Amino acid sequence: MDTIRQFNANPKSADTSQLTETINPLTARQNQSLKSLARTLSLSAHRFTLILVRSNQPGSLDNVFQQLNEHYSVQPRILYLPENSRSLFSAIQSVSLTFQGLMVIGLDDISDLDEFLITTNQMRNEFRHQFHFPVVLWANDETIGKLVKLAPDFYSWASGPINLDC
């Protein structure tokens, strides 16, 4: 399976094989967070911007992509990080094209997350030089805590995390 795909809201498409059968309605706060994410993606087109999305509910992922597409006409590409990923920069570089936005999924499952984040922090200046699109890191509380601790320079480029667990 490819590690990157374009989200497609058509339920008959092979790209939506991971969609749940029913899309749960979002709360008012989640809708506000989603609107903020869509606006940030739109305003950040053609330049590197780091966006953090905090979610401790892995099942909400497909719902968010569906809502972004249907209500905000935002169709980010999705990069699934394998557990053995060593570098965020290398993972993005391997698929780097021009995107409306790139959602990075799987950060919470990296087997050596500490080393991964330290490497990300060391490479941080390369992100702005090489990538001209917003990058959305999807992570839970524990991973964001590690990001703050182990990659503080990289983390400082993001505004506060957009909370989708409202």
Residues in the chain where the model's pLDDT stays below 50: 1-2, 4-23
pLDDT of residue 58: 64
Over residues 92-140, the pLDDT tens digits come to 988 866 667 898 999 999 999 999 999 999 999 999 999 989 999 999 9
CA distances from 83 to 2, 36, 104, 151, 165 (A): 14, 29, 13, 19, 24
Amino acid at 4: I
Closest residue by Cα to residue 53 from 101, 7, 111, 1: 101
pLDDT of residue 96: 64
Distance CA 16, CA 52 (A): 23
What is the helix (H) or strand (E) element at residue 104, kind and residue range?
strand 102-105
Is domain 45-163 in CATH 3.40.50, yes or no?
yes
pLDDT of residue 166: 58
Amino acid at 151: A
Give the start-to-end residue ranges of the domains of the chain.
45-163
